Structure 1
Amino acid sequence: MRIEGSVVLVTGANRGIGRSLLSEFLGRGAARVYAAARRPETLEKPAAGAAGRVIPLALDLTDPDTITAAAEAAPDVTVVVNNAGAHGVGHLLDMDLGLVESVMETNVLGTLRVMRAFVPVVERNGGGAVVNVISIGAFGATPALGGYPASKAALHSMTQAVRQDLAPRGISVHAVFPGPVDTSMLDYVIGHEPTFGDFPRATPAEVARATLDGLEAGEPDIFPDPFALEVQAEWRADPQALQERLSGIT
């Protein structure tokens, strides 16, 4: 996948990994980046030299009308990066069921809505790529993280399914599995479950660089930080041991 000259949509572009992905795409020569967020006014002003190359878009994964409007406003997209997501800490049998439903609605169905809206756009433009930012949580459920790992496991499965559907249409599909990343989302988790503070954190910039390296190399599954690579190796060697390790974090 050639990034230089591409036209990119990044959801959740106002913070964390999304903000770093936006900067990395610009640095590698993307012609234009549509920076999508629920509140586009929270997006930082483009860096010097990027004026005109960054276009803010309002997009809420739980509001289908905003997704449809975004696809109409961005008719030249060739790369779709599904980065936006939601979290909710708690144990599945005890926590507010509405919060579990919200996480699943956002991370799974919201991402599917974006793909359904933008895949025809990418196809009309001659093909390109879809990049889904998932999580190492897709490979093992941590009880204290509520519906988040379940949503990421579902997103992983969905990514595999659409990969098969989109290959004949000239669209490659890439799954990204970060480990703990130094973002406000991780701070939220640690605030509720301090044991997560024991894990090494990658920076959003490191994850963004590795993600785009994998995209350019055509890697279907991208493990963009040292801890994620460790999980990948353990998953391949002994999936049950990895599940027990991750489920032991309470």
Structure 2
Amino acid sequence: MQVQGSIALVTGANGGIGQYYIQGLQAAGANRIYAGARNPDSLKDIAATDPDRIIPIPLDITDEVSVKAAAESCSDVNLLINNAGVGFNQRLVAEINFDKVRSEIEVNYLGTLRMSLAFAPVLKANGREAIVSGGTTSCIVNMLTMLAKVNFPLNASYCASKAAALLVTQGIRAELASQKTLVVGVMPGTVDTGMSKNFPPPKVAPEEVVRAALQAVIDEVEDVYPGEQAQQMQAQLLQDPKAVEKWMAAVVAS
């Protein structure tokens, strides 16, 4: 799967990582980049940097009608980047707010699923030529987190929604393998964006996350762990997952 020459769509394009995906796709030589946001006017500045390639579109991934409209109007996409996400840094027992829980589930889990289902036939159709040449035809990139694999109690409901998104990623990957659609799960540690401003270092730069994600597309790597923190945590989870869980849980008592 080549990023150069691709037609990409980025959800949550006005968010902390979204703008870096747009810049990364530009640098990698994507032919067209659809930048999705609930308010496409928020993307005017970045679109102005490359108006021939960056096309803002209205997109609310929690709205079935909006998602279907995007799939119809962006019918040439062969690289879908499910980047939109939300997190409220809330515990479960101590301060649960079910409205916030529902929002995290609706965006992080159901939104990712909704977009993937809507664009699966689009990706299949646009990959037929690549099937003839023997290559991977199309790709979905799902922005996840290491917290999809182990719960951080101070952000517990967010972790749960991302865990659901991880399993959705695996399920979609299995079902779309026959149409040669690569599905990449991106699992960084703490990313240096506004969402994590109150979290301590180390933090991985969003540019590094994007570089690793797009390289995974090129190399056809299904799971990628950008940054030293994520790589170390993944190694620890493979060695002793219960120890990592207890280490994360200790933050509540501190």
Give TM-score scaled by structure 2 length. 0.91
1:235 matched to which residue of 2?
237
Question: What CA RMSD, in Å, does the superposition of the two structures yield over aligned residues?
Answer: 1.3
What displacement does 1:47 show? 6.0
For the Cα contact (< 8 Å) 1:22–1:35, is it kept in 2?
Answer: yes
Query: In 2, distance between residues paired with 1:86 and 1:152?
Result: 10
For the Cα contact (< 8 Å) 2:47–2:55, is it kept in 1?
Answer: no
Question: Which blocks of at least 5 consecutive residues in structure 1 are unaligned?
Answer: 191-195
1:66 matched to which residue of 2?
66
1:205 matched to which residue of 2?
207
Query: In 1, distance between residues paired with 2:249 and 2:144?
Result: 18
Query: In 1, distance between residues paired with 2:158 and 2:142?
Result: 15
**Other structure's SS at 1:56 match:** strand
**Other structure's SS at 1:46 match:** helix
Is 1:144–2:176 an aligned residue pair? no
Query: In 2, distance between residues paired with 1:8 and 1:85?
Result: 18
For residues 1-250 of structure 1, what are the structure 2 equivalents within 5 Å?
1-43=1-43, 44-46=45-47, 48=49, 50-93=50-93, 94-126=95-127, 127-187=137-197, 190=198, 196-197=199-200, 199-250=201-252
Query: In 2, distance between residues paired with 1:47 and 1:40?
Result: 12
What displacement does 1:224 show? 1.0
**Other structure's SS at 2:9 match:** strand
Distance 1:45 1:19, change over 3 A: closer
Comparing 217-226 and 235-244, the one that deviates more = 235-244
What displacement does 1:46 show? 3.1
1:193 matched to which residue of 2?
none
Letter in 2 for 1:216: I
Query: In 2, distance between residues paired with 1:72 and 1:2?
Result: 23
Query: In 1, distance between residues paired with 2:249 and 2:83?
Result: 25
Give TM-score scaled by structure 1 length. 0.93
2:133 matched to which residue of 1?
none
What displacement does 1:106 show? 1.2
Provide Cα deviations, 1:78-122, integer angstroms capped at 9, x if missing partner: 011101011122221232111111111111011111011111111
Provide Cα deviations, 1:149-191, integer angstroms capped at 9, x if missing partner: 001111111111111100101101110001111111112xx1x
Runs of 4+ that moved beyond 3 A? none
Query: In 2, distance between residues paired with 1:85 and 1:248?
Result: 26
- Aligned residues, how many? 241
Identity of aligned residues (%): 39
**Other structure's SS at 2:196 match:** helix
Query: In 2, distance between residues paired with 1:118 and 1:21?
Result: 19
2:134 matched to which residue of 1?
none
